Amino acid sequence: MKKVLFKYPLITSFIIAFLLSNVCIAQENDVSNYRMGFNLTTVKQPDNSRLLEVSFIATNKKDRKDKIPISNAEIKFFNILNEEEVLLGAVNTSNEGIAQLTLPENQNYLIDDDGTINLTALFEGSNAIDEETAEISIKDLHIELNLTEIDSVKTVSVSAFTINKLGEKIPAEEIEISFYIQAMLSKMKIEEGTINDGSYEFTFPSDIPGDINGNLLVYAMVVDHDEYWNVTQNKNIKWGIFHSHSIKEKNSLWSAIAPLWMYSVLTIMLVGVWANYVYTIINLVKIKKEGDELKLKI
């Protein structure tokens, strides 16, 4: 066997290189070379439902650009209070490593004395990947968005509050809020400020373009707050302006009126043709006249 290997050194080198490359690839794709990212976030949506989202992404410890989504992993979502635990639902991650669960507006949560909701996402683990868990604590913030005209002034106002166990509204304090309108490709910020005593108000700009009917979609958003996380509310209103651009039509080949240069060329050609006809007729008359004169002389 040894003689055969040395007899074909090129083939032997290729086999060794192939085996080494497979070993390197296997080592690179080893789970131990990756750091698991397991993140839980939540958004309270405009219809007052709540979206829970887990991002399950493995990142190479040496090359952070090398990221692998963990797909088809079952994620369980829980609402926990002390020793009590409620399973909210279970969802498998997508090909992008994302698992989303939407809870309805009337979802009954386990809430502690200060109005905090404790949420947990759990991946129970597999043969290759260890168990992963993520926890967040939130308070349920309610935002009411109002778009009104006060003395012909377009006014945007919000009311923000939480509700305690007795059903009482507690005005929100010191919350950063931003306002956007939906543009063609993304949202455009038009205002930002701080909610105090549960409210915020501003005058809507008068130069915001809308669609052909003047419709605008206005957003009020609290983003990445320590207690309330992400809360969004929106409303449609006909406050936009529409610019109709009147385009002056120019003469073209397919228009009802031809370009001026075509009239000029056609006129020159027709004049030239008729001038040639007249010239020919005049010369024919002259020839005939000269012929008659020659006959008389003869």
Q: Which CATH class is domain 31-139?
A: mainly beta
Question: Angle at CA 50, nearest 5°, toward 74 and 229?
Answer: 100
E-strand stretches of the chain: 34-44, 50-60, 67-69, 74-81, 84-92, 98-103, 116-123, 132-139, 142-150, 153-163, 169-171, 175-182, 187-195, 199-203, 216-225, 229-237
* Digit-coded pLDDT (tens) for 114-123: 889 999 999 9
In terms of residues, how long is the chain?
298
Helix (H) or strand (E) holding 281: helix 260-297
Q: Do domains 31-139 and 142-237 have the same CATH topology?
A: yes
Q: Which CATH class is domain 142-237?
A: mainly beta
Place of tokens 């419709």: 215
Q: How far is CA 3 from CA 13, 15, 16, 57, 159, in A?
A: 15, 16, 16, 50, 87
Question: Angle at CA 53, nearest 5°, toward 52 and 59?
Answer: 155
Domain chopping of the chain, boundaries:
31-139, 142-237
- Identify the pLDDT of residue 13: 43
* Digit-coded pLDDT (tens) for 143-183: 999 999 988 899 999 999 998 877 889 999 999 999 999 98
Q: β-pairing, 169-171 with 153-163?
A: antiparallel
- Cβ neighbours of residue 263 under 8 Å, at least 6 residues apart? none
* Digit-coded pLDDT (tens) for 36-61: 999 999 999 999 999 999 999 999 99
